[in-house]
């Protein structure tokens, strides 16, 4: 559609032939792309409930424009269903490649309907325009709705919901999780994933024993009460140094693996626990707080993992020294 001479609904500047224009799929209001992305919603969003529809101010060329309207398509993102310009290569909302979209995702602009938002105040902490990030809250995510997944995740949904949708829609397992690259055991504990937290935590404690032994030697080398440990570590220092290098390499391999798979493991954990809650008759739709209390995060779990490290490290150090004696 030719919007030259019309005004941007957000900044009210007149469009020129060089402007990149996006159109609200709900009411048809045109915006500069930058204006739309800055506000993250239509400038006339508060009028949508009353059935507002944008009308042209410039009547010139209306006949030719009407003929062109049916030819112009909106490229709908296959992941988040957001409308994009036909020439766009990636979705402006979630970043998914639009080349992966099938031909059925290209539809006439006037026929596109934006997925409806959830009701007012549906998601505490976000206004209605950003509820569930514009996704359909009733969409099936693998046995549970997107709404249930969102409430179970609790915090940082602006990161997880588009990511989980991409995993569900495109079948991708790999993504980048910075926390898992550095502290996977703490990430899993904080998200209440105790199986993975304990498994990874214990493995990394074992891999850290050579470093603990060498640090113990440097710090307590003059203490007679630790002579049993210090003498053994000192005699086997070269071997322990080699062991430390090998364990450090394995430790980084583990970190990289969980950096790439951590988000997918969390997605599977969310769906599995929602299934268990359904079996117990928990109604998360009428009381979403039940889902958030069952999921979400718990920072004190990180302290439990630190305590486990402090408890197991000296025990494993003693076992290693007993073997090397």
Q: Torsion angle of alpha carbons 7, 8, 14, 19, nearest 10°?
A: -130
- Average pLDDT (250-258) is 97
Lowest mean pLDDT among 34-48, 61-75, 113-127, 132-146: 113-127
pLDDT digits (tens, 9 = 90+) for 105-139: 554 544 444 444 333 333 333 333 345 667 788 88
Per-residue confidence (pLDDT) for residue 94, from 0 to 100? 62
Banded pLDDT at 14 (limits 50, 70, 90):
confident
The more confidently predicted of residues 185 and 229 is: 185
The more confidently predicted of residues 311 and 129 is: 311
Lowest mean pLDDT among 56-60, 112-116, 185-189: 112-116
- pTM passes above 0.85: no
- Average pLDDT (76-102) is 67
pLDDT digits (tens, 9 = 90+) for 226-251: 788 888 999 999 999 999 999 999 99
- Average pLDDT (173-190) is 95
Ordered structural domains, the chain, with CATH:
1-69 (3.30.40), 72-114 (no CATH), 128-170 (no CATH), 178-324 (no CATH)
Banded pLDDT at 100 (limits 50, 70, 90):
low
Lowest mean pLDDT among 15-19, 68-72, 101-105: 68-72
């Amino acid at each position: 559609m030719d919007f030259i001479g019309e005004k941007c609904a957000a900044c009210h500047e007149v469009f020129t032939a060089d402007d990149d224009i996006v159109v609200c799929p709900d009411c048809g209001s045109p915006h500069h792309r930058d204006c739309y992305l800055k506000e993250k919603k239509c400038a006339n969003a508060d009028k949508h409930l009353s059935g507002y529809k944008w009308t042209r101010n410039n009547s010139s060329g209306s006949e030719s424009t009407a003929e062109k309207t049916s030819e112009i398509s909106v490229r709908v993102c296959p992941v988040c269903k957001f409308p994009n310009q036909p020439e766009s290569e990636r979705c402006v909302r979630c970043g998914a490649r639009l080349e992966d979209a099938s031909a059925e995702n290209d539809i006439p602009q006037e026929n596109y309907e934006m997925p409806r938002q959830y009701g007012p105040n549906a998601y505490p902490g976000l206004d209605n325009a950003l509820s569930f990030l514009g996704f359909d809250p009733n969409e099936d995510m693998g046995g549970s709705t997107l709404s249930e997944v969102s409430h179970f995740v609790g915090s940082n949904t602006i990161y997880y919901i588009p990511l989980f949708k991409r995993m569900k829609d495109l079948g991708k397992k790999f993504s980048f999780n910075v926390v898992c690259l550095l502290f996977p055991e703490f990430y899993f504990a904080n998200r209440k994933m105790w199986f993975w937290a304990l498994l990874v935590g214990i493995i990394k404690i074992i891999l850290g024993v050579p470093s603990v032994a060498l640090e113990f030697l440097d710090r307590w080398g003059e203490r007679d009460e630790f002579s049993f440990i210090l003498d053994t570590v000192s005699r086997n220092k070269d071997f322990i140094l080699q062991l430390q290098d090998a364990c450090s390499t394995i430790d980084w391999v583990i970190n990289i693996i969980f950096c790439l798979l951590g988000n997918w493991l969390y997605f599977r954990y969310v769906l599995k626990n929602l299934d268990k809650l359904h079996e117990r008759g928990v109604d998360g739709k009428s009381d979403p707080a039940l889902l958030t209390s069952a999921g979400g995060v718990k920072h004190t779990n990180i302290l439990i993992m630190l305590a486990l490290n402090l408890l197991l490290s000296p025990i494993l150090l003693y076992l290693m020294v007993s073997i090397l004696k």
